[in-house]
Amino acid sequence: MAVGDFFKFPDNGELSDGMTSAYHRDGFLVLTDFASSLDCAKLIARAQDLVEAFEPEDTKTIFSTHEQAHARDEYFLSSGDKVRFFFEEGALNGAGDLRVAKQNSINKIGHALHDLDPVFEKFSHDARLDRAARRIGFTDPKVIQSMYIFKQPGIGGEVSCHQDATFLYTEPISVTGFWVALEDATIENGCLWALPGAHCSGLRSRFRRNGEAGLVTEVLNEAPFLEDHRIALEVPLGTLVILNGLLPHLSAANNSKKSRHAYALHVIDGSASYPPDNWLRRDPTIPLRGFL
Ligand code: FE2
């Protein structure tokens, strides 16, 4: 199989040897027909309902000015076991008021939809995902984070090239992304791009807590990502993309008139250690769950 070739998601989630080989070679695996269009529509509708119910006024002070950086950090840092709403950069003016309707201003919802929202909980706990995770090497998959990503038309910002292990670090490194396209993702509306094989070149940085200093990015390796080698992952809705936590990936801004909604789960292995300086913390009363 060539780099970036698509596979059809196997009905039972038992990835073939060809699929796992492609995953280990490239650092990602594109699996079409994972979710039905009905399932995608249900998640889109649910996210819309959550945004409808969200009162931006409640967070106005948090996002209003640069002086509120600490409050913004706290809102983010304590979101690991909550359902919270994060705005697109530039969605608010200096007074903290929305420039456009809130439905078009939200960048993402994070980070515990998979545990706290019944619709996302049902979608996220799926025996097929458990089997797929074990086929790529997990012994004890634990879903640590979920994100509903809007990639709004016109203002959906770019996500620069990064490795997910920068943000969710375990020893040994185990974080893996399970990213589901809820709408067709194209170059025009800001699809994922990946650097095939670059998961083998080590972790570049860690984004972590650092006591009173707050959040820091610790550079581990200054070598730049070789973005010239990136390939676009243009995928139809319902496609699952599995991303190795060391794989550099990115997405461009969405300058088109079409949104590009996606739902992403990040999974770590329960057998790995999770240092307490990771940004994401959860209340011990909400223990991590697997895919089942
Ligand atoms: Fe990512």
pLDDT surpasses 80 at 159: yes
Question: For the segment 1-54, what is each residue's pLDDT rounded down to a tens digit?
Answer: 788 789 999 999 999 999 999 999 999 999 999 999 999 999 999 999 999 999
For residues 144-172, average pLDDT: 95
For residue 116, report the distance from its CA to the centre of ligand 1, in Å: 22
For residue 60, report the distance from its CA to the centre of ligand 1, in Å: 27
Instruction: Tell me which of 50-64, 109-123, 145-159, 242-256 is least confident.
Output: 50-64
pLDDT surpasses 60 at 96: yes
Q: Where along the chain do its domains lie?
A: 30-269
For residues 115-122, average pLDDT: 98
Q: Among candidates 121, 158, 164, 187, which has minimal Cα distance to 252?
A: 158
For residue 157, report the distance from its CA to the centre of ligand 1, in Å: 14
For residue 10, report the distance from its CA to the centre of ligand 1, in Å: 24
Task: Judge contact between 9 and 33, C-beta under 8 A.
Answer: yes
For residue 101, report the distance from its CA to the centre of ligand 1, in Å: 26
Q: What superfamily would CATH give domain 30-269? A: q2cbj1_9rhob like domain (2.60.120.620)
For residue 95, report the distance from its CA to the centre of ligand 1, in Å: 31
For residue 166, report the distance from its CA to the centre of ligand 1, in Å: 9
Residue 267: how many CB atoms within 10 A of its CB? 25
Question: For the segment 266-283, what is each residue's pLDDT rounded down to a tens digit?
Answer: 999 999 999 999 999 999
pLDDT surpasses 70 at 66: no
| Bridge partner list, 268 | 142
For residue 49, report the distance from its CA to the centre of ligand 1, in Å: 25
For residue 38, report the distance from its CA to the centre of ligand 1, in Å: 25
Q: How confident is the model at residue 244 (pLDDT cuts 50, 70, 90)?
A: very high
CA distance 85 to 105: 10
65 vs 186, more confident: 186
Contact residues for 38 (Cβ-Cβ < 8 A; gap 6+): none
For residues 174-194, average pLDDT: 98
For residues 238-258, average pLDDT: 96
For residue 247, report the distance from its CA to the centre of ligand 1, in Å: 9
For residues 172-189, average pLDDT: 98
Q: Among candidates 46, 291, 275, which has minimal Cα distance to 148?
A: 46
Task: Judge contact between 291 and 141, C-beta under 8 A.
Answer: yes
CA distance 82 to 76: 10
CA distance 61 to 149: 23
CA distance 226 to 228: 6
